[in-house]
Amino acid sequence: MENLISEIISKNILNFILIDTSTSSENQEELNKSKAAAIEFIKNEPNDSDYIVIHYFDNPVVVSESNKTKAIEEIQKIVFSGSNSNLNSALLFVQQKIDSIFNKEISIVLFSNGPCTDDPKATITSIMNRGINFCCITTKNEALVTLAPLSTNISFHVYENSSKLTEYIKEITKNKIEIPVLHKISVANRTIQCSKDDLSISFKIFTNTNELAFEENEIEIEILTNDYYYGQKVIVPNKVDYSTPYTANLVLRVANNSSKYDLPSKIYFKIKVKEQVFDGFFTLDLVWFAGDFETFKPINIWVEGLMGNGKSSVLNMLLNLFTSKPQIYNYFISSNFQNHVTKKITFNKIANILDVFKARASTWLPLYDTIKDKIKISLVDKPGITNTDANINYLLASKGAYYNNTLKDQMVANVEEKKEYECHAVIFVVSLAEIVANKTEMELIKKKTEEVIDKVNIQPILAVTFSDNFNETELEAAKRQLSQSGLNVAKENIFFVHPYINNETKRNIQKDIEAFKLLTCAVDVGIQTQFQKEMDSNDTKKSHLVGEDNKYPPTLNGASASSLSNEPATTVTKKSFIITITHEGKDFKFKIPQKYKVTDLYGMAKSKFSIKEDFSLNDEDEVELVGEFPLDEVIFEEESRLTVNIKN
């Protein structure tokens, strides 16, 4: 299976500059040379490096924790401070500071002419075992006699002039230790899953050279906890070398409150090799979570919009959720491409689009067979909304009166309505710049969203494009204007998206997450539309059984239909009403008949929201319907609001 995109994070450099200011090892001339050498060293380091400058004598004193300019300023102010050269005391202080520092490439640079008053050998060894660079710059050759015994692993340099120091800095920078092991991360599953399910991954550790080998328990892998997943840590129990890689099978368990958060754009990890710690991250390939879009019945999602607002780009964005990174697939042609304009209605099954790409010799699509089998979504493209051209009637569209490949100049509803062409959800694509500046276009969109709500009872969805053309202040103002425009789109159904544009060649996880949220909403609306159609159909069937006196006619065997339900016939009525169920912070409205039972409602909620855990439905007073009421008691005779409560 394909590996997930991952990266070891380059660390910013943090230099601890230690300057000996004791009278026991320095005189004024030597101290001035040490300060000059320290300043030359800092000038030769990258501009984005950080510095903690410490001068030590009896005790260590921090004079600066800042950037290059500030560090140089503070070094120039350093003066003699005491009689003892307590290097060990200074290093213990540094070691304590290091324990609270993360994601930095740490070096310790000592400026001293020795000797030390205390014994720092053990502390130096402990620091260097953590993979921290340690070097010593002195201003006289004789000092090497006293400083060299501190450690055989310290890099020494005698400062004579700036050019030689520059060469030395280049050398020690070149020799900084890179991560000694390589890694590959892949999803362990072999089929699609839901985003709310735990994710199994394989984390492979290996080396690419015979020169490196690691014993048992010398390597540690840790996936860090985030808002969506709990972390996990594993110590590699086996030897790892060129011919013996190790694969850790890890499970990212979904956090209890994950429903409040989006899927993470990056999942961070640490690889600890002996005492060295390396930070990295990997990004998810959202094709694995296509299970969120698995439906029992086919769903048609219409994507509507004004010409030039990014409709085709949004369609391609949704399509790419079913392909694998890093490639971007473009199936729908943008209006920016050779003056292309969509001229007909097309019903594009995800499975059929994947067939097109699969047929290309160079294209390999993971999970192709599974997605073809389980994903029943069609993305419906159509000519853009205009003032002059005939636009479709969404009441007729919801009944399947517009067929595939209906040309723009022939967009007249067919007499025969086909279920396969029914509209279940509508995404309106609008450019933020156009919608807030052009009242005519605003009114066109407003008219169509009202039509979708009033005539079809489908909750419209808004995909807002081109918001990246605004600065922060302008964007907030435009958002306020949009929210006050009267478009009749629920706040939770408005999505700001950034589709891939023509010159982009690599996938962006943040853009994919935007598309994932948009499609999740569209599928939810589509399922709700289908469910409502079934409820309305059942109401119609029941009403056909009711005579003028509001009673069921007798059945063929002489028994009344009402006796089958153990209820008086007079309780059956054509009237229906709305129940609102809140699930994961979103409201879903359902039209149900009077005398609806708790058992029916629970079954509907479990199916609608794909609930696997134990749950209850609580009313506005937090009264739990299970336990407080018998399951077979008829309780719904008026509009109600309920909340799904998942039980831990």
Q: Give me the domains of the chain, ranges plus CATH numbers.
A: 9-174 (3.40.50.410), 182-284 (2.60.40.10), 291-526 (3.40.50.300), 529-646 (3.10.20.90)
Quick one: pLDDT band at residue 276, thresholds 50, 70, 90?
confident
Residues 484-517 as b/e (b if ≥16 CB within 10 A, e otherwise) read ebebebeeebbbbbbbbeeeeeebbbebbbbbbe
DSSP string, 537-558: HHHHHHHHT--TTS-PPB-TTS
The residues that bridge with 55 in the sheet, in sequence order, are 19, 61
- Sequence-distant (≥ 6) Cβ neighbours of residue 173 within 8 angstroms: none
- Sequence-distant (≥ 6) Cβ neighbours of residue 276 within 8 angstroms: 130, 131, 177, 179, 180
Nearest CA to 429 out of 477, 501, 381 is that of: 381
Q: pLDDT tens across 504-550, in order?
A: 888 999 999 999 999 999 999 999 898 888 877 766 555 544 444 43
Token couple for 97: 């500071």
CA–CA separation, 540 and 505 (whole Å): 52
User: What is the reported pTM?
Assistant: 0.70
Helices (H), 457-498: 472-483
- Sequence-distant (≥ 6) Cβ neighbours of residue 178 within 8 angstroms: none
Strand 576-583's sheet: what is its strand order? 586-593, 576-583, 640-646, 615-618
∠253-254-256 over CA atoms, to 5°?
120
pLDDT of residue 237: 96
| Of 65-79, 160-174, 517-531, the least confident | 160-174
442 pLDDT higher than 70? yes
Q: pLDDT tens across 551-587, in order?
A: 333 333 333 333 233 333 333 334 556 788 888 777 7
Q: pLDDT tens across 314-338, in order?
A: 999 999 999 987 889 889 886 555 5
- CB half-sphere exposure, 495, CA atoms < 13 A: 24
CA–CA separation, 462 and 491 (whole Å): 9
Mean pLDDT of 585-597: 72
In the chain, the amino acid numbered 82 is G
pLDDT of residue 459: 92
pLDDT of residue 232: 94
- CB half-sphere exposure, 118, CA atoms < 13 A: 18
CA–CA separation, 61 and 92 (whole Å): 13
Helices (H), 300-431: 311-319, 350-358, 368-374, 394-398
Specify the higher pLDDT residue, 254 or 82: 254
- CA end-to-end span of the chain, whole Å? 34
CA–CA separation, 324 and 595 (whole Å): 48
Asked, as a colleague might, if the bond just before 115 is cis with ω within 30 of 0, I would say yes
Over pLDDT 90: what percentage of the chain?
Answer: 39
